Structure 1
Amino acid sequence: MKKSITYLMMFCCFVVLAQQPLDTIYANEHKNVALFFPKSIGQGITGAPNFVFSYNKEQPQHLGLLQARPGKESNLLVVTADHKVFSYILKYKESLPQLNYFVSGDQSIGSMIPQTPLDINKVDLDSMERQEAYYKKFCTYLLKRKPKTMASKSRKGIRLQLQKVVYYGVQTYLVMELTNTSGITFDVKYLKVFRVQGNKKRKSSYQRVAIKPIYKYKVPDRILNGWTYRLVYVLPKFVLGDYEKLCIEVRERNGNRKVLTHWAP
């Protein structure tokens, strides 16, 4: 989180207003807590992985949704399109006192004001390069750690394993392993991650939503017979709710082989 805030403030000065005690917002994994801001959300960051604040990054909106899992209290920092900064204490609670918060402009703790005109294209490019280098470094670190099996499935000589789920900053890292003992090379068409809710036998309640990776590390295009490959997917941070599980699927190109494995916390 410190790294994200550093990038955000690199070209800005932070003007702090008279500091007032921060409001506390309670959340849990059973319900969405909605926050409506006076301007569209530019960035939102939580201080701990057991809290997840989601908002529309592609088409900025005024609405943000908060969920939590049991754990230590944390904080939420939100910057809106007009550079206003809002900050809250976050706590987990089974019974929520409030589900909707309508935030007014005078609740801002300060503002972020650009000091000089920026070359937006250059800033975006530099930020992307720094972020990619950071992802690569952390993925390398994860692959050096001792693996353990969290979920595994084998079919027709192809084994798919989920070995680690790591929550760090505003991302979730999945460490996976692919092994081929089928005697035939396996050309990878895709490796996808889904968030699954409900029972597939009850179609009315079954939902499968793809989670698009932010970054992929050491993902093979081809799995040779007798070889094992370890890889990492970087995903936006998420919290699985009740009756939800993670589904990982690998499918063969120009063939009918596929393997699916499921994991629930």
Structure 2
Amino acid sequence: MKKTLLFLSLALSISISAQRQLDTIYANDQKNVALFFQSPIRQGITGASHFVFTYNQEKEQYFGLLQAKPGLESNLLAVTSDGSVYSYILKYSKRVSKLNYFISANESIGNEAPIGKPVQQEKKNIVTDENRISYFQRACDYLLKSKSQAIATKQKQGIKLELKQMVYDGSEVYLVIEVKNTSGINFDIDYLNVYRTNGNNKRKASYQRLQQDVIYQHHLQSSIINGLSQQFVYVLPKFVLGDNEKLMLELKELNGSRKLIVETKT
């Protein structure tokens, strides 16, 4: 209901310059369909939950990724930073022949604000961001206190990397991660990246991995003291893993050679 109201309020504020038949974009859960806009994406909404459109909501980005599960057709409504509005019909297809859409400015169906009136957003965004971070903090604290069984584990050279939970909430995915150090020396973290992988790593010609944006980190420390373990939470934009996809975590030591990779099962 909330998403429906958001659609209606946004649609009522659009000043449409011309009526035309909407183009159709096909997607599935095995490939990423990329949409490149002339201006950074400020908002992207799909009409049904089996279509997922992800983009960087913290840093301005010109492209978004579309995936779909089987289901009825829907639509995508996107607004860029200059107030331009774009609308497309979305359909699921087992076979997707076009993976990249470079969208020109003349494909806009109109502008979010009436012509000549600037789009006002700065004050509203500041409050929204503060509320969003506060929500992330509460949700992460709750997840860290809850019990769970490990989804995937890797242990090497006295370092144990474990993905404990993967929780979907609205337009975000929460990853509860634990690192345990029994190696005899402290482990300083260079990076801990999250990837979606597709294919066989041994056959590199058919192997792909796509790094995921982390929009919020909760309780992540730069060093894991010897003899201790640390749990923390990564918050990412919502994504859908395809039938042949896995989620990968890669942990690398700073100024050292130790590296761990853990993957979920398909």
Q: Same fold (TM over 0.5)?
A: yes
Aligned 8 A contact 1:37 1:103 in 2: yes
The reply to whether residue 226 of structure 1 matches residue 227 of structure 2 is yes
Unaligned runs of 5+ in 1: none
User: Hey, what's the Cα distance between the residues in 2 that align with 1:210 and 1:124?
Assistant: 26
Task: Name the structure 1 match of 2:62.
Answer: 60
Distance 1:92 1:139, change over 3 A: farther
SS in 2 for 1:204: helix
Distance 1:202 1:168, change over 3 A: same
Task: Name the structure 2 match of 1:51.
Answer: 51
The C-alpha deviation readout for 1:90-118, integer Å capped at 9, x for no partner, is 66564789999999999969955598874
Distance 1:40 1:216, change over 3 A: closer
User: Hey, what's the Cα distance between the residues in 2 that align with 1:141 and 1:47?
Assistant: 30
Task: Name the structure 2 match of 1:28.
Answer: 28
User: Hey, what's the Cα distance between the residues in 1 that align with 2:72 and 2:125?
Assistant: 34
Task: Name the structure 2 match of 1:206.
Answer: 207
Deviates more, 1:171-180 or 1:102-111: 102-111
User: Hey, what's the Cα distance between the residues in 2 that align with 1:97 and 1:124?
Assistant: 37
Q: CA deviation at 1:218?
A: 0.8
Task: Name the structure 2 match of 1:14.
Answer: 13
Distance 1:71 1:159, change over 3 A: farther
The reply to whether residue 155 of structure 1 matches residue 156 of structure 2 is yes
In structure 2, give the amino acid aligned to 1:174: L
SS in 2 for 1:135: helix
Identity of aligned residues (%): 49
Aligned 8 A contact 1:49 1:167 in 2: no
Task: Name the structure 1 match of 2:245.
Answer: 244
Distance 1:182 1:43, change over 3 A: same
In structure 2, give the amino acid aligned to 1:219: L
User: Hey, what's the Cα distance between the residues in 2 that align with 1:23 and 1:145?
Assistant: 45
Task: Name the structure 2 match of 1:127.
Answer: 128
Task: Name the structure 2 match of 1:185.
Answer: 186
Task: Name the structure 1 match of 2:78.
Answer: 78
Q: CA deviation at 1:239?
A: 2.4
Q: CA deviation at 1:69?
A: 2.5
The reply to whether residue 165 of structure 1 matches residue 178 of structure 2 is no
TM-score by length of 2: 0.70
Aligned 8 A contact 2:40 2:60 in 1: no
User: Hey, what's the Cα distance between the residues in 2 that align with 1:97 and 1:243?
Assistant: 18
Distance 1:38 1:208, change over 3 A: closer
User: Hey, what's the Cα distance between the residues in 1 that align with 2:229 and 2:199?
Assistant: 32
User: Hey, what's the Cα distance between the residues in 2 that align with 1:212 and 1:36?
Assistant: 17
Distance 1:48 1:154, change over 3 A: farther
The C-alpha deviation readout for 1:42-65, integer Å capped at 9, x for no partner, is 41123665422145873536xx65
SS in 1 for 2:143: helix
Distance 1:196 1:168, change over 3 A: same
Deviates more, 1:91-100 or 1:140-149: 91-100
CA RMSD of aligned residues (A): 4.4
Report how many aligned residue pairs link the two structures: 257
Q: CA deviation at 1:79?
A: 2.9
Distance 1:94 1:138, change over 3 A: same
Distance 1:124 1:50, change over 3 A: same
TM-score by length of 1: 0.71
User: Hey, what's the Cα distance between the residues in 1 that align with 2:88 and 2:35?
Assistant: 11
